[in-house]
Amino acid sequence: MEMLDGISGLTGRFDIFLLDQYGVLHDGTVLYPGVVEALEYLQERGKTVVIISNSGRRATANMDRLKAIGIAPELYQHFVTSGEVAWRMLAERSDAALQSVRTCLLLTRGNSRSAIDGLDLAETDDPEEADLVLIAGSEGDRHPIEFYRSLLEPAARRAIPCLCTNPDKIMLTPTGTAYGAGRIADLYEALGGPVRWIGKPYPEIYRHALQMLGHPEPARCIVIGDSIEHDIAGGNAAGLAAALVRTGVLADQSDDQINALFAEHGAAADFQLGGFCR
């Protein structure tokens, strides 16, 4: 793994940069130092920047959030979220398993409804009525995991299908880390419910992004993220180069702990950066 001071060491090797959002560009509230300058640097050199995020919200909702904290849309070309991929699956009903879905139990964060806005789905708070569980976000900083166990047990008993559109097990919040939507989906599986995972490290989100880009040569692309389990393992599986940043969920981890995570997830990074900076 090659250690680099910043992304300037990558611009001569790659043309397409697929960037994680939380933990790379910002901490959930404010931008990390040097992020805007690094994005400007990539644009000046004609690079294509795609933000690829395990957010259960649609792309436009995330773009609005980035703009509010200081990243203008002109600093990247595309924004792909797992929530957007799932929304399109539900809108098109091209998947046979989703064709009969009419009533949705939505788990989200901050009362966001962007995951289902505009869809032909009725929302319910009653797990006995739902024929789909959609886990788009976690309020793990507000509720113990047992809150979700009680809510989901009736749906799991009925084997109601679940889409998890944010596979992250840990999330960044203004008060620190908390369990993420992926942990809730793990719980649903443990209760006996079937889960389909949409987002990193699973292939659907990469297929969507690369198709949108016109199927570029993999050697031209690099993923940059702070999660070995999601960003690095997902990039590996998609056949893309990968760079790990030591911010976000790994900020307090030692080198030994980092190496243990690489081994645990069978992943390898080609590069390591202290942060996403020029």
Tens-place pLDDT, residues 22-66: 999 999 889 999 999 999 999 999 999 999 998 888 899 899 999
- Evaluate if residue 93 carries a pLDDT over 90: no
CB 186 within 8 A of CB 168: no
Q: 138-167 burial by CB neighbour count: b if 16+ within 10 A, else e?
A: bbbeeeeeeebeebbbbbbeeebbbbbbbb
Tens-place pLDDT, residues 201-236: 999 999 999 999 999 999 999 999 999 999 999 999
Q: How confident is the model at residue 82 (pLDDT cuts 50, 70, 90)?
A: very high
Q: What percent of the chain has pLDDT over 70?
A: 100
- Evaluate if residue 112 carries a pLDDT over 90: no
CB 57 within 8 A of CB 83: yes
pLDDT of residue 165: 92
| Mean pLDDT on 251-267 | 94
Does a cis peptide bond (omega within 30 degrees of 0) precede residue 33?
Answer: no
Tens-place pLDDT, residues 125-182: 999 999 999 999 999 988 999 999 999 999 999 999 999 998 988 887 877 888 999 9
pLDDT of residue 173: 80
What domains sit in the chain, N to C, each tagged with a CATH number?
2-54+200-273 (3.40.50.1000), 97-197 (3.40.50.1000)
Residue type, position 13, single letter: R
Task: Please provide the DSSP assignment of 99-112 as one string.
Answer: TT--EEEEE-STT-
- Evaluate if residue 243 carries a pLDDT over 90: yes
CB 199 within 8 A of CB 167: yes
Q: How confident is the prediction for the chain on average, in pLDDT? A: 93
Q: What percent of the chain has pLDDT over 90?
A: 79
- The CA-atom distances, in angstroms, between 73 and each of 49, 81, 114, 236 are 11, 15, 19, 28
pLDDT of residue 75: 98
Q: How confident is the model at residue 195 (pLDDT cuts 50, 70, 90)?
A: very high
pLDDT of residue 52: 96
Whole-number Å distance between alpha carbons of 30 and 247: 13
Name the residue with tokens 């569980």.
133
**pTM of structure:** 0.85
Whole-number Å distance between alpha carbons of 171 and 165: 14
